[in-house]
Structure 1
């Protein structure tokens, strides 16, 4: 069968075709809207959503914008990612250069004293005017070119360029991830600060209650049990501070490292900055289809698929002979000072042929491996789109539900505050027992702490939504065209 294929191979070579399948971007089905689109539209109607390119400005928090700016300028993971893009660019440049002719300039000069005992020396020493001291000089220009008749080099060029584009998309993904991580850590800092402030305020209130109960006990209006109960509630409030302080310090350290600095560098600045922010709307315009051009992981997966498709052609090209042309034009002389003369001129031309004629078993395996890698890349690409869609849907659900919980908790805190104040007034008048006051204090502390935590989580959910939508980088127009075809 292989013998019958020989005429077809030679016909293909003469036609100068490119073997392997031409890449066609797979069509992935995508819904036109998100399942929770109505919730997003309702919020956008109340306040416009910030642009995805720099969504962090939508929180109206100068400190957050400063932090993310530092992260994008100073983060070491981002610098390492940029270096990987440079390496991929160099590899693509090298693959393109492989398709072009190669040229070289070589020159050499050597002074030697020949042995009279060597085979050449014995023959030469018998000639008249033999001189053991000799000078050899040569200079020449050479060129070679592999004729890419089967298109293997062209496919290699395509693969390297697609890999470069995948590296660029991955770099954008690192940028998105770092911006989102910095914002997440920042809102955890603000959440911890708010909860610590609530705990300290509660500690002051509990201390006042302890003083009141002790005073009543001294005047015979209270019991020792009431004193112990009020002191226990005070200690309970004080016990909530250390873990919150640990959370605060840990996230400040995380921010410093994200900004490429040693822990403690920016901690004081961040902790002392005003903590005002508002949670912006999130626009899901374009629906899941927009992820094909905005999500760097989806773009990188598609470019990796394109590269694997081209590598099938690289492997198939090994079935065909490789033909190369080379030439040399130069001068060589044993007489010093007579190098660039007509008698020293020399030239050479060569036609090279390399064919893995008896190695088709290995080539079969290489082709099978390339096709398997392409099938894997296709599954990965489809999976990346599904995962991206899931990320957005989950982020929208978390955002909308946390906002609903936040509204309920605000009313709950207001109700507990009124109940606690009424209970304290009633206790001072002897109408209720201390147990009722302590119970109202516990409920108020729990609801205020939960409200502060949910507010921070609500901001973090917005960050997750922006991240899931592929926000945090400018999509170049030419890259949009590349990944949309």
Structure 2
């Protein structure tokens, strides 16, 4: 008994010392983060337009939607952040990745279990054992065997493959977290975009209704002139056609509003139609806030897609270490401190004590190049991940350049259309006065009226587009979350 205890203790001590020595070994390349391209990139060549409110501070990128000074927009985005199902699903993906990482890290440590078994067997006399032993006086056909005891096993991380696998799992957690943040950025931008489109379409509907009233007055004027003998039926038909043309623009606009309201409800995790009544009252399109310029390095630090691409690159580097570790032997230790007896009454006695210690070795010496192929595949995946990271950086810069250019051009277009509307309004009013005086034909009035309607519609649509362009700028900057310092 004492010899057994000494032997077991010696094996355990040897295993611990060997593990302590081998755990410091690790094969495979050490990860080196790519040189941040932001420092080497030139500043964005498109510049944000100068704001008239240069003294007004720009809103924080973490909550850029508050800069629009629209309480309804803030409510919508807060509700979307709390209820959006895509965002909730992304959080569950993070939890899954964390669970995988926890399991991978647990492989670095010994595992223990407690086993107990009771076996009752009636031995066959025609089997191998029964046929040989049936004539032995002490042969027992009815066998009862009882085993109880704890067991432990430990795979030593000789080449660091387990550690590389755990590090890869941790990197994948960060990828999942970056993707969740990316979903948050998308949800906030999409909610704001849908809201601004609703307000834009509502403004176009209001303009169309005003135009319909104007065209109704014009039709009444033509009818009065016809009764007085100063107009023809052709002019009445022209005025009626203009009125119907204005009325025909309402159904598509109402449908567009309905679609964006349904989109908003889904973004807020609700059945379409749930919150539509909250936006029934027409409100002006909010003015865009001042936006602070960003340098490429700032964008790279904030953009979740770039963060995720870099973490995927790190994970692919760890997979190289996992593959290279297969070149080296795997050593495992196992031990059992149990009791084994054919009689339950003597189960927990010294004679029933049955310790065991096992050291295992597995080494893939001959596999016809499979390990080399796995290493080559891992290195290829790492090279691909680096190219994807660089492409992600370039796409991010493209997003920013397009967003800034889009905002600048829509603002410039807004100023031109506003001046056009003012001129066409004066021209329409003068043409109506001239028509009443009989100095011009109805065709001239109708033409000026049509041009004004088109310009007013363009102005309302472009003001919504300008606000949406500002949202796109915030989104391209990676705004909508607390970036690491």
Structure 2 residues not aligned, in runs of 5+ = 1-20
Counterparts of 1:20-59 in structure 2, within 5 Å, are 20-30=28-38, 31=41, 33-37=43-47, 39-40=48-49, 42=51, 45-59=54-68
What secondary structure sits across from 2:344 in the alignment?
Answer: coil
- Does the 8 A contact of 2:337 with 2:356 survive in 1? yes
- The C-alpha deviation readout for 1:347-391, integer Å capped at 9, x for no partner, is 111111111100150011101100110010000000101100110
Q: Scaled by the length of structure 2, what TM-score is found?
A: 0.91
Counterparts of 1:223-262 in structure 2, within 5 Å, are 223-262=232-271
Task: Determine if the alignment matches structure 1 residue 448 to structure 2 residue 456.
Answer: yes
Task: Determine if the alignment matches structure 1 residue 164 to structure 2 residue 164.
Answer: no
- Output the CA distance in 1 between the equivalents of 2:390 and 2:316: 15
1:143 match: 152
- Output the CA distance in 2 between the equivalents of 1:381 and 1:392: 17
- Output the CA distance in 2 between the equivalents of 1:53 and 1:383: 25
Which of the numbers 428, 444, 448 marks the counterpart of 1:436?
444
2:13 match: none
- Does the 8 A contact of 1:192 with 1:248 survive in 2? yes
Matched pairs, number? 463
Aligned-pair CA distance for 1:50: 0.8
What secondary structure sits across from 1:411 in the alignment?
Answer: helix
Task: Determine if the alignment matches structure 1 residue 61 to structure 2 residue 70.
Answer: yes
- The C-alpha deviation readout for 1:47-100, integer Å capped at 9, x for no partner, is 321111111111111111111112111111112111111111111111111111
1:192 match: 201
Which of the numbers 274, 277, 286 marks the counterpart of 2:286?
277
Cα RMSD of the aligned pairs, angstroms, is 1.9
- The C-alpha deviation readout for 1:137-168, integer Å capped at 9, x for no partner, is 11111111111121111111111111110111
Aligned-pair CA distance for 1:411: 1.9
Distance change >3 Å, CA 165–CA 147, structure 1 → 2: same
Distance change >3 Å, CA 36–CA 48, structure 1 → 2: farther
Distance change >3 Å, CA 324–CA 380, structure 1 → 2: same
- Output the CA distance in 2 between the equivalents of 1:124 and 1:275: 99
Deviates further, 24-33 or 238-247: 24-33
Task: Determine if the alignment matches structure 1 residue 335 to structure 2 residue 374.
Answer: no
Counterparts of 1:286-325 in structure 2, within 5 Å, are 287-325=295-333
Which of the numbers 79, 98, 101 marks the counterpart of 1:70?
79
Aligned-pair CA distance for 1:261: 1.3
Task: Determine if the alignment matches structure 1 residue 178 to structure 2 residue 193.
Answer: no
Distance change >3 Å, CA 195–CA 15, structure 1 → 2: closer
What secondary structure sits across from 1:398 in the alignment?
Answer: helix
- Output the CA distance in 1 between the equivalents of 2:283 and 2:418: 22
